[in-house]
Chains A and B, each alone.
Chain A
Amino acid sequence: MREAVCIERGSRISRFFAAFGLLILVLLITAPFYGGRSDLYLLVEIFSYLALASLWNLLAGYTGLVSIGQQAFVGLGGYTLFALTIFFGLPPLLAVLIAGPVAAVLAIPTAWVIFRLRGAYFAIGTWVVAEVYRLIFAQVSALGGGSGTSLPTQIIQSIAPTRAARDNLIYWTGLGLIVAVFAVIYLTLRLRWGLALTAIRDSEPAAESVGVDNYRTKFLIYFLTAGATGSVGALISLQKLRISPDAAFSVNDWTAFVIFIVVIGGIGRMEGPLIGTIVFFLLREFFASLGPWYLMLLGAFAVVITLTMPKGIAGLLAERFDLQLFPLRRRVHFLEQKSKDSTSSASADALERPGKRQKPGVSTKNME
């Protein structure tokens, strides 16, 4: 009996989705020609949240680094933009790109300190760091101190002569940013790194035993996501034309909402942030006017999803209908040739975590 094994990545659905995605991309690139001002503004908001959610997903869902302090880099990116344009006269769009590496550089000492913490305490540590940055910038009077500052008119005008042109340029920058973020994340996961990350998330000791350098890998991912988050943060502040410590470092806007998006959409899957962002903006469209009720709804919704649908919508789709839009999982096909020449094939998702039928609360894993 000879066995052949074939490892396949894509599926019909994912190929269809790729084609569909290309179409959407073309539509988005040409949006300024048929979209209105507020449409473009909304789209940039959507791109921003989608990027932040995808990056958080990479950090927490794939690498297991649960951070509730990514707003630190959103704020750092924003303030870097303002500083670079106001103090150094850099073109704003260029500053958006440079804000990324600046935030990444600041992630280095940050990581060095807080990687000493584990699990949920690491999460709170990231929050403390974000708070420190917020409190520090509230003391920088050159950038408006506690009440913040607006982007000076001549800097705004330096982007482009007309308002329409400015809107379009900011829009295309946003589009470019989200495409770049997606590309980077996809590549990271598709290469060997993707397996390394999943290994780390599932079991650090086991991952180390097969040669994965946990610390370095985690640090690299933290560094990369910080940088990307910084650029997104710069874009967000650029679009708002204003910055203040509370807004730039808001845990609600840049962490709570982002986590909500990823949890509902599906953590640990690339489709998750996409689905979650859509759901989030739909909910915002209908319920944001309710003020605190809206946030209570989000909070309660997040709890319910965690209890009933821990893998989010994307997880549900993947498990029930074997639906997968981004070709990341490696599907193993066993082709058996029996003596009677009949072939049967079974496929198993090589990266799937086994379902646990044991009762809740029974845990023998030792965590710190």
Chain B
Amino acid sequence: MTQSNLLETRRLVAFYGDFQALFGIDFRIERDETVAMIGSNGAGKSTFLKSIIGLVRAEAEAIYFDGEAIGGDSAYRIVSRGVSMVPEGRRLFPSLSVEENLSIGAYSKRKGPWNLEAVYTIFPMLKERRRAAAMALSGGQQQMAAIGRALMANPKLLLCDEISLGLAPVIIKEIYAHLERVSANGTSLIVVEQDIKQALAIADRVYCLREGRVALEGRPSDLTREQITEAYFGI
């Protein structure tokens, strides 16, 4: 395992019961990198992220984070190691206010630059609505709250699952601008996206998944549209 790799997966497989979703994914991300993962619905992108964060069981040797094998670890342990996820659909806690949602994000008590004030600095509108019920926010605001909540865990690696889903293009742009600032601050990002344009714009490298396998990998600048289309759709 190369030292510059923050996270590495080797022949990662994943199952839901008897159904196999991932068929041996080799993946790596270095420190300070932003890597995008694209692919159509059902390709296995979310499953990939869930495997990393421990919500889907993986073999011990299949995932290495910061030099240690974390496959098979419980999710809460992986979070305390420094991986955090913004789940698909945002999944804010309905019973909690905006501020309470952010606060619970710091449950793992990891040290770092992110705290309530820091989150409010990059998302000022969250501060205005901090006492509101989380579900009373608009889609875009909820997404920012979800990102802020994940940041409160002071992760070395942030996993973003389809954060553009259901949002207007203008909002998506705004959110990705914020994400750039987050990554500039030293957090590595894995961004799972259906919005290919946005994914390619933010990423240093991109993977394309199809039917549970890596169909393509490379730098956005090196890949042609034809290559991407073929990998994405398999035609």
Contact = CB atoms under 8 A, between A and B. Distances in A.
B18 interface: yes
B166 interface: no
A357 B57 contact: yes
A362 interface: yes
B55 A357 contact: no
Contact of B15 (A357, A359, A362): A357
Interface residues on B, range: under 10
Interface residues on A, range: under 10
Contacts of A357: 15-17, 57
B57 A359 contact: yes
Nearest to A353: B17
Nearest to B74: A359
A358 interface: yes
A362 B18 contact: no
Nearest to B54: A359
A162 B93 CA distance: 72
A324 B15 CA distance: 28
A355 B56 CA distance: 15
Contacts of A359: 57, 74
B18 A355 contact: yes
A206 B55 CA distance: 25
A359 B18 CA distance: 15
Contacts of B17: 354-357
B57 A358 contact: yes
Contacts, number: 14
Nearest to B55: A362
Interface string A189-228: 0000000000000000000000000000000000000000
Does more than half of chain A's interface fall in helix, strand or loop, or is it mixed? loop
Nearest to A364: B91
Interface in B1-45: 15-18
Interface in A317-368: 354-359, 362
Contacts of B56: 358
A210 B89 CA distance: 26
B53 to A, nearest CB: 12
B18 A354 contact: yes
Residue of B17, B55, B74 ringed by the most chain A CB atoms within 10 A: B17
A228 B15 CA distance: 45
B90 to A, nearest CB: 14
A37 B187 CA distance: 82
A207 B17 CA distance: 22
B60 to A, nearest CB: 15
5 contacts: A354-B18, A355-B17, A355-B18, A357-B17, A358-B57
Interface of A: 354-359, 362
Question: What are the 5 A-B residue pairs with the smallest beta carbon separation, nearest first?
Answer: A354-B17, A355-B17, A357-B17, A356-B17, A357-B15
Interface of B: 15-18, 55-57, 74
Given A355-B18, A357-B17, A359-B74, 11 more contacts: A354-B17, A354-B18, A355-B17, A356-B17, A357-B15, A357-B16, A357-B57, A358-B56, A358-B57, A359-B57, A362-B55
